[in-house]
């Protein structure tokens, strides 16, 4: 029993390590090509750099951040601090349900609603709205646990000094700020690594300029990986590998940051 399980576990370990290392290692050497981070791709992505994809992903993340953090945080506060018990439970299960909806569905919804119905077209705006629709419940689901973990004594302590709801809420947020930060990082990390929703609503395979306004289409890291792997030949694959490696390294950094934040809290 013990040995069977141990062998399986070690097998899993080896496979996982192999996946991780082979992805990272196969891409890192290309980081040092001149202009890799600062140049535009050339000759069907067989030369040049990933500048526009990098900026595109960054722009998308900033928009998702700007949309989903305020809405998500405010929604979470309502959920945990203000709503009557029934409504709070209902909303919580709603957010849980939305969390289990596959990301392609958010893409298809974004296409029908933001791109077509509201006329935003294939654009940075549509993509960030579709991603935010997905990110908000994800954020709420995770953040609400941290708000709920704040002891009731703290809330009552603030109230009995004569604070109003808003002031009491600010205190709860202060007490759970590490947790909220964790949720925030995980949410952005997830939005950063999603491909399907952007593929459908905002991404173009190749564009000659950066998005100048919200309704311009955008090139991003994940969609470009997809496009290169599926459509271009061997001569372009290095760029996909390099971007894949970069994305994995960024995600590892995010998870490490989360770990550090959690540890800080425990002290």
* 181 touches 105 (CB < 8 A): no
Least distance from C-beta 77 to another protein, angstroms?
5
Least distance from C-beta 209 to another protein, angstroms?
21
CA–CA separation, 227 and 231 (whole Å): 6
Total Cβ atoms within 10 A of residue 64: 25
Q: Is residue 209 within the footprint of another protein (CB under 8 A)?
A: no
End-to-end CA distance of the chain: 38
Q: Is residue 196 within the footprint of another protein (CB under 8 A)?
A: yes
Q: Is residue 107 within the footprint of another protein (CB under 8 A)?
A: yes
Provide the H-helix boundaries in 85-176: 85-100, 103-110, 124-148, 152-160, 165-175
Query: Among 90, 91, 31, 41, which Cα is nearest to 210's?
Result: 41
Per-position x/- string for 155-194, each x denoting binding to another protein as judged by CB under 8 A, each - no binding: xxxxxxxxxxxxx-x-x--xx-------------x--xxx
Instruction: For the segment 210-249, give every residue that binds another protein (CB under 8 A).
Output: 222-223, 225-226, 229-230, 237, 240-241, 244, 247-248
Query: Among 65, 59, 57, which Cα is nearest to 184's?
Result: 65
CB of 61 or CB of 163, closer to another protein: 163
List phi, psi (to 5°) of 47.
-140, 175
CB of 84 or CB of 212, closer to another protein: 84
Judged by CB under 8 A, the stretch of 31-39, 40-48, 79-87, 207-215 that binds another protein is 79-87
Q: In the numeric block, which tokens belong to residue 9? A: 């576990």
Instruction: For the segment 7-66, give every residue that binds another protein (CB under 8 A).
Output: 8-9, 12-13, 15-17, 19-20, 22-23, 26
* 230 touches 157 (CB < 8 A): no
Judged by CB under 8 A, the stretch of 32-40, 47-55, 57-65, 102-110 that binds another protein is 102-110
Total Cβ atoms within 10 A of residue 143: 27
CB of 38 or CB of 165, closer to another protein: 165
CA–CA separation, 252 and 258 (whole Å): 10
- In this structure, the strands spanning 41-42 and 47-48 are antiparallel
Residue selected from 39, 61, 108, 257 as contacting another protein according to rule CB under 8 A: 108
Judged by CB under 8 A, the stretch of 43-51, 58-66, 146-154, 207-215 that binds another protein is 146-154
Judged by CB under 8 A, the stretch of 32-40, 55-63, 74-82, 209-217 that binds another protein is 74-82
């Amino acid at each position: 029993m013990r040995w069977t399980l141990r062998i399986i576990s070690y097998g899993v370990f080896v496979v996982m390590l192999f996946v991780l290392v082979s992805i990272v290692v196969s891409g890192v050497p290309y980081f040092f090509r001149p202009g890799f981070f600062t140049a535009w791709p050339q000759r069907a992505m067989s030369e040049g750099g990933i500048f526009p994809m990098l900026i595109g992903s960054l722009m998308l993340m900033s928009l998702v951040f700007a949309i989903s953090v305020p809405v998500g945080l405010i929604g979470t506060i309502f959920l945990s601090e203000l709503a009557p018990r029934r409504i709070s439970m209902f909303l919580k299960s709603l957010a849980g349900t939305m969390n289990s909806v596959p990301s392609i569905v958010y893409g298809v919804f974004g296409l029908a609603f933001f791109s077509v119905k509201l006329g935003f077209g294939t654009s940075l705006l549509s993509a960030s709205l579709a991603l935010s629709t997905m990110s908000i419940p994800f954020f709420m689901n995770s953040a609400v646990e941290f708000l709920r973990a704040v002891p009731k004594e703290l809330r009552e302590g603030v109230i009995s000094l004569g604070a109003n709801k808003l002031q009491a809420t600010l205190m709860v947020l202060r007490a759970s700020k590490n947790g909220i930060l964790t949720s925030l990082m995980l949410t952005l990390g997830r939005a950063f690594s999603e491909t399907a929703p952007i593929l459908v609503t905002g991404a173009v395979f190749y564009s000659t300029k950066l998005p100048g306004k919200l309704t311009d289409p955008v090139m991003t890291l994940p969609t470009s990986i997809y496009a290169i792997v599926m459509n271009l030949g061997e001569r372009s694959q290095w760029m996909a590998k390099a971007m894949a490696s970069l994305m994995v390294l960024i995600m590892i950094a995010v998870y490490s940051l989360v770990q550090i934040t959690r540890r800080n809290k425990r002290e």
